[in-house]
A = this chain, B = another copy of it.
Amino acid sequence: MEAPSSVRHFRRQQHLARPGETRDSIYRVEEGWACRYCLLPDGRRQIAALYLPGDYCEPHWLLSGRADLPVMAMTGLRVREVPLASIHTRPGDGVKRLLGAMVQTLERQSKWIVSLGRKTAVERVSELLGELFERLRENERSSDEFRPIQLTQRDIADVVGLTPVHVNRVLQGLRQRGLVELRGRTLMVRAGDP
């Protein structure tokens, strides 16, 4: 007998799911970040989705029942495990919230396709940081001007489809324009991203 919703912890780089695995539960992120990514045979990596506190990971498991891409913790991570059975049997808001999250993921992915296909390096990085700031502001509701982004520049590179070296140079530009700050090794983002 398991509790209907249990808390689980993952360390950075640890996998929440591996490709092909069948899933009978999803996660709701409570603290920390996770990502869905694809690793090509020659080592190239592309991150296809980021999961922040408050996000469901991954909503479409409700329908497909299996993971198609690996999901990994990008920081220390605390999640609540939600059995799919508990959602199917109780047809309340649960299903609705999940399907809503799915649509949101879909729209976010469409936006990223546009960025990756048609935007420059500076535009992509700015857009990513802007989006992250907004998503953080929605879920945790404090109104600090700066927020920490716990990603390495390699991680950012694998989201925006660039090289770590070039991400570094872009960030230096954004720093001079005051959109971003570096404290120790963690990146701080400020509100306002046109």
Contact = CB atoms under 8 A, between A and B. Distances in A.
| Interface size range on A against B | 20 to 34
Contact of A60 (B36, B106, B114, B118): B106
A69 interface: yes
Interface string A65-79: 000110000000000
A106 B105 contact: yes
Contacts of A102: 60, 63, 102, 106
Interface of A: 36, 38, 40, 44-46, 48-49, 60, 63-64, 68-69, 99-100, 102-103, 105-107, 109-110, 112-114, 116-119, 158, 160-161
Given A40-B118, A118-B161, 20 more contacts: A36-B110, A38-B110, A38-B114, A40-B114, A46-B113, A48-B114, A49-B110, A63-B103, A68-B107, A68-B110, A102-B102, A102-B106, A105-B106, A106-B106, A109-B113, A113-B113, A113-B116, A116-B116, A116-B161, A117-B158
